Structure 1
Amino acid sequence: MKKRELNSYGKALIMAFLFGFALYSCKSGIESDSRITETRVKQNFGRNWEFRRLADNAADESWETVNIPHSMKTEPLVVKEQWQGKAIYRKKFQVPSLEGRKWFFHFEGVMQEAKVSINDSVVMVHKGGYLPFTVDATPFLKEGRENTIRVEVSNLDDFEIPPGKALENLDFNYYGGIYRNVWLIKTNPVYITDAVRANQVNGGGILVHFDSISEEVARGLVKTQIRNETSENKQIQLRVVFTDEEEKRHEFLSSEAEAGAEEAISVSKEISIKNPQLWSPSDPKLYRLKVEVIADGELVDSEEIKTGIRDIRLTDTAFYLNGKKHFINGTNRHQEYPYIGYALSDEAQYRDAYKIKEAGFDFVRLSHYPQSPAFLAACDELGIMVMDAIPGWQFFGNEEFVQNSLQNIRDMARRDRNHPSVIFWENSLNESGMSKEYMKKANATLKAELPYEDTYSAGWIDDPAYDLYIPARQHAKPPFYWNHYEKQRPLFIAEYGDWEYYAQNAGFNQKAFSDLREEERSSRQLRSAGEAGMLQQALNFQEAFNSNLKGPHTVGQANWLMFDYNRGYSPDLESSGIADIFRIPKFSYYFYQSQEGPFTDAFSDPMVFIANFWTAGSSKDVKVFSNTEEVALFLNGKLVARKRADENIISDELPFPPFTFHPDQFEPGTLKAVGYIDGEEVASQVVQTPEEPVALKLNADFSGKNIALNTPDVIFVYAQVVDKNGTVVPTATNKIKFSLEAAPKNAEIVGPAAIKAEAGIATILLRTENFLHPLKIKASSPGLEETEITIENP
């Protein structure tokens, strides 16, 4: 397996006094997770909310205290009747004195309708579960006393709110709640606006775009909207500073512009950066962009974001990144976790991105809705290109639905336009019968927001309104699918490897299905399906991947999909993920990892993986995934064969075809695979025949990100059922009981604390609140040696 270097992570606790304005302790409702500039305060406002689900419009009573992100209902692992309804969140907080400051509450995501009140005044009703909204609390606050913010949340079906489809017919879920961060933002009355709240075409907030990019120089524009909420005109000037990862500064000063009283203006500054550090998946260089607002000679606001410089270009037959042709190899991702639905921490979002990168992908399609800002930030940092997508799935609604969908396009573009990872904009309602008029308006809306040559729209219908055609593989006929697409436009296969095999119209591999039952042919295989099921899934992905590479207009692909997930319309897990819902890899995960090369970054190493448990019932055709030139297989120290990769009709286009070995007979013991490049050993792996289970082995999944110190976080803890040699027993289904020693108040096991092992591994989800001290978890099962682990940041 590949070795990974975990990124270190830590958060500083910042306390400060600005303009005589105190930052209050958690007791007054303000958290210590703050982002502070000289003039602006951005604080996490997620702690100590009161929460109550409503039934039959009952009065507000029986409140429980919760921290955000939060799901309105903890669901079972397999969600058969997901809870839908209404709930109330409320929070009390002190406002000693406003002192001329503006107070905003910014909600990153509430599923899916939110009515916000402050001190009994309704401030906003927001419809839509995937994009942010901001409320200006200032006019409703009462100084020198306790104030209350109240949010009524509904996740009931609503045909006017995209995606619009009723949950019972939907291919994903509407997990209700304030499931992303809430921020309290305080500014002076002359301030940089929020891009979504400003609701200005090609404006609002900070907008950065580079029109001309080369290795010598990058030229572009920073546009910033400033609102003056004073009674006097102000002379506004911007200082724009780009700082690269080597701390080299590039500073620019705009001309002065006048902002009238109670007026918003946009100030633009052309920029030119010599020898820019270019962003790419193999080298994701980022810049810190700081914009300072100077009004009448005084610094009144500043905001800092991260962005990147990259050149992208799309032709009829290829995608170019920084001037070089690049075939995009990616996956799809739903944002769901077991039990908590969508209420992931920022750190958990990062860990998902880390696993996508570690699997060998350089791209992810956000299916089928905009996902967390933290996930996009992780894609920026790790080097994962993104297809952003508006909410939509097999539904096209009335005029109100259409208007809400067009607003989704605006809000998505305004929120995500500065992320270098976002290369395509799926302003298309996935697999929905969109009208010609809608498609025309959708593309006009996107192009108005981002009127640049490198803004590429993507649609699942083959209409010239879209820059990129993104069908699923099953939208064409076998065996050739999209290999013979002849229109002079680029094609991106947005989904492949699942449905065509589920429907048994796979393609070139039909004869291999002759002795398989229906469920054995599918790519929908849980880890409990065992070797045969996981090998079939990997074979299906291999065949489809290989076939996709034959299309002359195919610029990239995204498999379906990365992680297993729940669906409203089906009482079982959709299991075509290359990792399960607990993020445990299946064999196909390592097939994709083996397709990565050359070895240009920390996530790209020579690797070998034996897709075999080597038991008496295992396949005697031993499949090895590797990105090396040759692989040797040894059985109990004796050479079985040393060979080059397979050559056949389903591997002839792959970057790195698998290797298949044929030992003469089963002999318990060890299989060892060794990979060679230029005759030198560069990677190896050993698989040992599992014996009787005797013990448990615990480990926690950090995936490049430490546990958050002072905000809620969730991590997986795995209990492996092992034999005397420490080998996981893949047939073990023991029921494992987990316990938190002394049941600390700052952590809990979400979902059942006793769970059956699947394919030798049982998993719990651990939620932490204030991770200030190590935690101890014990695991036990009758007949197995008890074990414990101390959870602490590496």
Structure 2
Amino acid sequence: MLKKTRYIILLTLLCTSKLLFAQQSTRLNSSWEFLRQDLGGIWEAVRPVGVGNPEAVPVWQNVTLPHCVNALDAVDPDVNYYQGPAWYRTQLVLDNPYKTGRTILHFEGAGQKTEVYVYTTKVGAHVGGYDEWTVDITDAVAEFQKTEIYKKQFKGKVPVSIRTDNTRDLEMIPSDLSDFNVYGGIYRYLNLVYTLGLAVDKMFAKAEVDAQGKLGKLNVKARFYNPKGINDASALLKLIDPNGKLVSKSEKKLNGLSGDLDLWSFELKKPQLWSTDKPLQYTLQYEIISSAGNFKGEEKVGFRNIDFVEKGPFNLNGKRLLLRGTHRHEDHAGVGSAMTEPMIRQEMQMMKDMGVNFIRLGHYQQSRIVLNLCDSLGILVWEEIPWCRGGLGGEIYKQQARRMLNNMIEQHYNHPSIIIWGLGNENDWPGDFPEFDKEKIRTFMKELNDLSHKLDASRYTAIRRCDFCSDIVDVYSPSIWAGWYRGAYTDYKKATEEEFAKVKRFIHVEWGGDSHALRHSENPDKALSKIKTGGSADERAGDASLYGGAARISKDGDWSESYITNLIDWHLKEQENMPWLSGTAYWPFKDFSTAIRPDNPVPYMNQKGVVERDLTKKEAYYVFQSYWTEKPMAHIYGHTWPVRWGDEGEEKMVKVYSNCSDAEIFLNGKSFGSKKRNSQDYPSAGLRWNLPFVKGENTVKVIARKGKETVTDEIKFIYQTEKWGKPTKLVLKKIDQQDDTATVEVKLYDDKNVLCLDAINWINFGLTGDGKLIDNQGTSSGSRKVQAYNGRAIIKVKLNKGTSVVSVLSEGLKTVFTEL
């Protein structure tokens, strides 16, 4: 039933989230059934056919893992996402090849409270949605296999049932006030593990090097999983360099196999260094020999030196490195948090291709796959626990925070990419409890800070946006949202300098703003005239609301891609001339779902990403690329802007984002000259032209040069000179069909049949017939309720080889239909 793939994988010990190195591991992806509700009891999950009317509800559905309870309803415009119990069940054929071995279920992450059953026996439970944990099912399976039920009803298979629960709970972190969904389900990989009776629980490999790279040190400790109490073993260890060459080896006799045991410590002259440009890793191979058998495993380590200079920049291996960062939430179109390994790989590679060398993982411990990719791609990491918003709860609450910090550090200790352990986010945000006591929050923050340093003295601690705790942690990031929640983007440098002066070590994570993909503007900075400038650029209570309060771009701006590219362009220009700056991280890389933003142009979406929720690039992606990458690139702004507008004879700006030294522009085949790139010549580093578009179709082409290499880009669009009035009608058409999927587009026109290019009416798509709308994706072109972009909106329909009728409803306008 299950295809067994042998590979070495890190695991965790029952309910304590300790890591364990397996010898056989199989991802349990297929043959699962799912129920999005609670059961009356575990018996309902396993009762045999013919007992208690099995034809009655509940009805289970077939799913594959990883699976998120909220894969679609997280962005359903008509309902709040489900928060409650859900069940998964399967039947396993178990065949442990090790005579005295153990059988373990290893969860890479499940949310938010999880219980595990073998037949009707509860074998384990875990609280927390983001750290890894395991359940040893060996004994429960052995007992069940003695029963007649195992032989007759289940035909030699073992029933496993798992209950997950993301019900709102004030005594859990993260808070439901957080600006992201607290998902439910088995949304990371679940592994079936066969291991020896003595196995490595944790292998702590600490690689260090001085700033000059002259002397490296490796210290190795081990913690064992030893349920049978074996007393004696031998450890064989080897260190292999990035080229596959043996560097050194060691052999040690072990006894009293409890606690953390020192295995190996040695010095290495001039190790090959891990860096963001060359992320070279050594391999620590080990073998533990005991009466239980030979347990083999390996760890990757990297030698690098990190230093956040007090009142200064960040140094990697003794040289300044400007941290060019972004953020990641575990969220994706169509699957919620249940991203597969190929999805994660694509996302992380796109970040690296954009020029990212730093990432803050918001706001929780993330998948081992992510951390492994950061190691191999050369992306430095700030990883944090989900103490996010709401205040501070009681002892149960605090214990979860302590446990999750311990687990995060121990489980990800060996990753060279990690430089910061984050202790909290926006802890100045009250709301979950009647009491909001700053001193109690400070006291607990100090406790977490001390715990982090005790567990790992080699890395820094940090928090974001809690000024009254800024002196506790090693590195602090204040709230600076120049040009979005407060002020204009031209306030950015002054606001940053003021905040830098207040703390010992400064970094700026979270900046940017929302953009409704496919919406563009001829005058994107218009709303800045209403904005008070020169003051603080922090985000305050209510600033994220689209109603009331002071004038701010987040409320009064047009949410166009045109505006956000200007904002990003200005920030990146300034960051190049801030020699004291350690670095920044744009918030976030990808649009993500959030329950607290129902009124956004795509409901329930935070739209601040530089790519959409399905990884479709917005224009902003190329602005970053033009500043942060070396491979020659050139991108004309406006690939998703089909109609521009203005007067006849009016010159309109065309911007090119490129890292090339010079570029030449062509309009309708005619050259309008070359320009040199200058990062301080805003906007678009001087690569901008005012061109006389002709009415109707236009073609713009750029040829850019970097050394001997040449790159080109081209766009086509319509230039509309007719003026429009208020929208009076909708026109709906099929504009494309690929295989069994059709794309339909609705446009808004005035009473003179002129396209209304600034229309932002709410559009509601509907469908009846054989097909199905491809909606609930959380994207501008994958939502049945969406604000129009430049007087239009599109959606795709899966036709199912039949006939369907698509409808569009928009308040105040006549509903229209089209048959597919």
Q: Which of the residues 353, 356, 359 maps onto 1:358?
A: 353
Opposite residue 670 of structure 1, the aligned amino acid is: T
Match of 1:148 in 2: 159
Query: Secondary structure, in 3 states, of the residue corresponding to 2:124?
Result: strand
Question: Judging changes above 3 Å, is the alpha-carbon distance between structure 1 residues 241 and 780 closer, same or farther for their aligned structure 2 residues?
Answer: farther
- 1:184-214 Cα deviation digits (max 9, x unpaired): 2222111101xxxxxxxxxx44433325475
Aligned counterparts of 2:417 and 2:802: Cα–Cα separation in 1: 40
What is the one-letter code of the residue matched to 2:28? F
Give the structure 2 partner of residue 534 of structure 1.
561
Shift in Å at residue 225 of structure 1?
A: 1.6
Contact 1:291–1:304 (Cα < 8 Å) also in 2: yes
Aligned partner of 2:478 among 471, 482, 490: 471
Q: Give me the whole-angstrom Cα distance separating, in 2, the residues matched to 1:381 and 1:718.
A: 40
- Is structure 2 residue 356 aligned with structure 1 residue 368? no
Which structure would you say has the larger Rg?
2
**Structure 1 equivalent of residue 434 of structure 2:** none
Query: Matched residues in 2 for 1:781 and 1:141: separation?
Result: 53
Structure 1's 563 and 376: CA in aligned 2 closer, same or farther, altered over 3 A? same
Q: Which has the higher contact order (CA 8 A, sep 6+)?
A: 1
- Taking a change above 3 Å as real, the CA distance of residues 512 and 117 of structure 1, as seen in their structure-2 partners, is closer
Query: How many angstroms does 1:227 deviate by?
Result: 3.8
Partner of 1:35: 7
Which position in structure 2 is the counterpart of 1:663?
Answer: 691
Asked whether 1:610 is paired with 2:657, we answer no
The answer as to 2:442 corresponding to 1:415 is no
Judged with a 3 Å threshold, the aligned counterparts in structure 2 of structure 1 residues 691 and 288 are, in CA distance, closer, same or farther, namely: farther
The Cα RMSD (Å) is: 4.3
The aligned residue for residue 637 of structure 1 is: 669
Residue 112 (structure 1) shift:
0.3
Any conservation in 2 of the 1:608–1:627 contact (CA below 8 Å)? no
Moved more, 623-632 or 61-70: 61-70
Check if 1:191 corresponds to 2:199.
yes
- SS state at 2:374 partner: helix
CA apart distance, 1:284: 2.2
Displacement of 1:311 after TM fit?
1.9
CA contact (8 A) 2:218 2:267 kept: yes
Q: Is the 8 A contact 2:287 2:295 kept in 1?
A: yes
Choose 472-481 or 381-390, whichever is displaced more.
472-481
How far did 1:697 drift? 7.6
Return the alpha-carbon distance in structure 1 between the equivalents of residues 576 and 365 of structure 2.
28
Who is 1:172 aligned against?
A: 180
CA distance in 2, matches of 1:35, 1:740: 44
Deviation of the 1:640 alpha carbon: 1.6
**Is this contact kept in 2: 1:238–1:267, CA < 8 A?**
no
Relative distance call for 1:658 and 1:140 in structure 2 (3 A) is farther
Q: Which amino acid aligns with 2:715?
A: V
Q: Does 1:303 align with 2:297?
A: yes
Shift in CA distance, 755/437, structure 1 to aligned 2, threshold 3 Å: closer
Alignment of 1:541-556 (within 5 A): 541-547=568-574, 553-556=580-583
Query: 2:428 is matched with which residue: 428, 432, 438?
Result: 432
Residue 123 and residue 55 in structure 1: after superposition, are their counterparts in 2 closer, same or farther (change >3 A)? closer
- TM superposition shift of 1:124: 2.4
**Residues 227 and 265, structure 1, Cα contact 8 Å, conserved in 2:** no
Q: Which amino acid aligns with 2:689?
A: F
Alpha-carbon separation, structure 2, partners of 1:750 and 1:249: 54
SS in 2 for 1:409: helix
Q: Pairwise mapping of residues 552-563 of structure 1 onto structure 2 (< 5 A)? A: 553-563=580-590
**Helix, strand or coil for the counterpart of 1:657?**
helix
- In the alignment, is the contact (CA less than 8 A) between 2:65 and 2:190 conserved in 1? yes
Q: Which runs of 5+ in 1 are unaligned?
A: 1-25, 194-203, 502-508, 700-716, 722-729, 767-775, 783-794
> Matches of 2:502 and 2:8 in 1, distance apart?
52
Alpha-carbon distance in 1 for matches of 2:657, 2:642: 15
User: Is the alpha carbon distance of 1:345 and 1:241 closer, same or farther for their aligned partners in structure 2, counting shifts above 3 Å?
Assistant: same
Residue 606 of structure 1, CA deviation: 3.7
Give the conservation status (yes or no) of the 8 Å contact 1:459–1:470: yes
CA 1:552–1:483 in structure 2 vs 1: closer, same or farther (change >3 Å)?
farther
**1:561 deviation in Å?**
2.0
Whichever residue aligns with residue 643 of structure 1, its letter is: K
**Which residue number corresponds to residue 108 of structure 1?**
108
The CA distance in 2 between the partners of 1:93 and 1:499, in whole Å, is 46
**SS at 2:304's partner residue?**
coil
Deviation at 1:247, TM superposition (A): 2.2
Once the two structures are superposed, residues 215-239 of structure 1 have per-residue CA deviations (whole angstroms, 9 ceiling, x without a partner) of 4552221222234444553133232
Moved more, 630-639 or 659-668: 659-668
Give runs of aligned pairs for residues 250-649 of structure 1, distance below 5 A: 250-259=247-256, 263=258, 266-295=261-290, 300-316=294-310, 317-396=312-391, 397-432=393-428, 435-452=441-458, 454-462=459-467, 463-474=470-481, 478=487, 479=491, 480-484=494-498, 485-487=500-502, 489-498=504-513, 513-514=528-529, 522=553, 533-547=560-574, 553-571=580-598, 572=603, 573-597=605-629, 599=630, 604-611=631-638, 613=641, 615-617=643-645, 620-645=652-677
2:567 partner amino acid: N
Q: Distance in 2 between matches of 1:562 and 1:254?
A: 46
Instruction: Give the TM-score normalised by structure 1.
Output: 0.75
Deviation for aligned residue 1:148: 2.8
- Once residues 568 and 702 of structure 2 are traced to their aligned partners in structure 1, the CA distance between those partners, rounded to angstroms, is 22
Asked if the contact 1:525/1:537 (under 8 Å) is kept, the reply is: no
> In terms of mean alpha carbon deviation, does 74-83 or 344-353 score higher?
74-83
Paired positions, count: 678
Question: In 1, are the aligned partners of 2:569 and 2:682 still within 8 Å (CA)?
Answer: yes
Q: TM-score, normalised by structure 2?
A: 0.73
Q: Provide, for residues 32-75 of structure 1, a one-character-per-residue CA deviation record: whole Å limited to 9, x for no partner.
A: 34315998112212322232222584744533332210122442
The verdict on how the C-alpha distance between 1:182 and 1:354 changes in structure 2, with shifts beyond 3 A counting, is: same
How far 1:121 sits from its partner (Å)?
Answer: 2.7
| Alpha-carbon shift at residue 524 of structure 1 (Å) | 9.0
Aligned equivalents of 2:620, 2:22: Cα separation in 1: 50
* Structure 2 spans left out of the alignment, 5+ residues: 10-20, 46-57, 151-156, 430-437, 517-523, 532-545, 721-732, 746-756, 807-820
Match of 1:88 in 2: 87
- Rounded to whole Å, the distance in 2 between the matches of 1:306 and 1:153 is 33
Residues 93 and 255 (structure 1), Cα distance of their counterparts in 2 relative to 1, 3 Å cut: same
CA contact (8 A) 2:514 2:564 kept: no
**Hey, what's the Cα distance between the residues in 1 that align with 2:797 and 2:495?**
40
